[in-house]
């Protein structure tokens, strides 16, 4: 199913949900405080950090009447304010999708699946 269809005088471009998810994931991982994307389901209370080749598995793209809704499942770094990381990710993902892909974004939702502890003393 096509998530977005862009048409101009030269023709039509159809973008799949997977392409939009990968673009959103690449935009998100650039944000400070984000450790990585997590799978959408937590098994036994453990969130697994997905590798860069599996970014789209931590992102759900849904077509809604006024654009698309993007749900991101993330893991943040310990000691960083979660609300700041979430706001930065939301802003960055929306900016990239609207300005680089021409996609109308109605919502970007952040689901924090875990906090990574590194060298906590």
Q: Using CA atoms, how far apart are residues 59 and 82, in angstroms rounded to an integer?
A: 18
Q: In this predicted model, what pLDDT tens digit does every residue of 22-34 receive, in sequence order?
A: 899 999 989 999 9
Please determine, looking at this structure, whether the domain spanning 2-116 carries the CATH number 3.30.70.1350: yes
For the chain, the domains span 2-116
Q: Using CA atoms, how far apart are residues 73 and 80, in angstroms rounded to an integer?
A: 17
Q: Using CA atoms, how far apart are residues 82 and 7, in angstroms rounded to an integer?
A: 39
pLDDT band at 45 (very low <50, low <70, confident <90, very high): very low
Q: In this predicted model, what pLDDT tens digit does every residue of 86-118 receive, in sequence order?
A: 999 999 999 999 999 888 999 999 999 888 887
CA 47 to mean position of chain CA atoms:
16
């Amino acid at each position: 199913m096509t998530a977005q269809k862009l048409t101009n005088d030269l023709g039509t471009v159809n973008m799949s949900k997977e392409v939009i998810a990968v673009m959103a994931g690449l935009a998100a991982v650039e944000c400070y405080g984000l450790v990585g994307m997590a799978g959408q389901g937590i098994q036994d209370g453990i969130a697994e950090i997905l590798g860069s080749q599996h970014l789209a598995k931590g992102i759900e793209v849904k077509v809604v009447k006024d654009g698309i809704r993007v749900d991101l499942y993330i893991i943040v770094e310990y000691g960083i304010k979660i609300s700041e990381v979430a706001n930065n990710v939301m802003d960055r993902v929306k900016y990239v999708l609207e300005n680089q892909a021409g996609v109308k974004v109605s919502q970007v939702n952040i689901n924090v699946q875990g906090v990574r502890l590194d060298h906590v003393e």
